[in-house]
Amino acid sequence: MAITIKNQHDIEKMRIAGRLGSEVLDFITPFVVHGVTTEQLDKLCHDYIVDVQKAVPAPLNYAPDGHTPYPKSICTSVNHQICHGVPGEKILKNGDIVNIDVTVIKDGYHGDTSRMFCVGDASIQAKRLCDITYDAMWLGIDKVKPGATLGDIGFAIQTFAEKSGYSVVREFCGHGIGKKFHEEPQVLHYGKPSTGLVLKAGLIFTIEPMINAGKREIKQMPDGWSIVTRDRSLSAQWEHTVLVTENGYEVLTLSAGSPAAPSFINV
Ligand code: MF3
Ligand code: CO
Ligand code: CO
């Protein structure tokens, strides 16, 4: 499958899908508290997407090659879970950090975004990991413009994460997105400047770094989906869907409740 350049119609539809994805995260925010189960969060998001947004939760029954169909509508990755945490009976407790990853399909187009949430008061270390990962995502986003390369994005994320004392997960990456959930290109969160695909206006892809407080190695759990840090260190992730514009970028997954961009971003 080739890389697709989106036309004006596609871009309009991707703006809508992106905003809806972000609005699911706005909606779920007040429910991410001590005592809630990740399954309850999944049900709340599922019903909001289907009944209120009249959209489709893309993860539900998603079955890429080599995987059993994903059984839930969102991913909830808690503490040392890196990504693809499957909602279940796990009860969130004070001090947990959790990534909620939402992908909605509206009119055939996908909007993919995730945020970190602290349950009650997280430790200073856990909060720092979430903050550094957020800034790492935005440093990557800030590289996006025609003529820049995917390597520029990966390099910005990797150097910042590693100089902060953290490691970058290598096995999962950002991705092109549109009518398909996962399209080319792969957007690595590590790399070398001036290498890889040269960006062009009309490309849409996600940037979604997974940063570990400890070593970068991962382990897949027996459920066939959940990925955890091999050393059980904490892991954080943030994700936006981004359009390459004529002179830079447009983040498509923003809404009223999106956290402010870091102060180094000029808006
Ligand atoms: N939303 C994830 C991503 O950012 C993919 C989840 S696939 C699932 O690419 F099947 F686990 F939901
Ligand atoms: Co994604
Ligand atoms: Co996602």
Task: Please identify every stretch of the chain with a pLDDT value under 50, giving residue numbers as ranges.
Answer: none
Do 180 and 170 contact (CB within 8 A), yes or no?
no
In a domain, 1, yes or no: no
In a domain, 243, yes or no: yes
Q: Which two tokens stand for residue 71?
A: 């059984």
In a domain, 266, yes or no: no
In a domain, 227, yes or no: yes
CATH code, 86: 3.90.230.10
What are the b/e assignments for 99-115, b being 16+ CB within 10 Å? bbbbbbbbeebbbbbbb
Task: Report which protein residue has its CA nearest ligand 1's atom 12.
Answer: 59
Number of H helices, E strands in the chain: 4, 15
In a domain, 265, yes or no: no
Residue to mutate (ligand 1; options 45, 84, 210, 239; most atoms within 8 A of CB):
84
* CA pair distance 81, 141, nearest whole angstrom: 24
* CA pair distance 121, 149, nearest whole angstrom: 39
In a domain, 60, yes or no: yes
Boundaries of domain holding 86: 8-251
Distance from Cα 181 to the centre of ligand 3, integer Å? 9
Q: What pLDDT is attached to residue 267? A: 64
pTM greater than the 0.85 cutoff: yes
Closest to 6 measured CA to CA, from 254, 242, 238, 194: 242
- Write out pLDDT tens, residues 76-109: 999 999 999 999 999 999 999 999 999 999 999 9
Q: What pLDDT is attached to residue 225? A: 98
Do 209 and 237 contact (CB within 8 A), yes or no?
yes
In a domain, 54, yes or no: yes
Residue to mutate (ligand 1; options 112, 227, 242; most atoms within 8 A of CB):
112
Q: How many structural domains is the chain composed of? A: 1
Distance from Cα 82 to the centre of ligand 2, integer Å? 13
In a domain, 264, yes or no: no
What is Dmax (Cα atoms) for the chain? 48
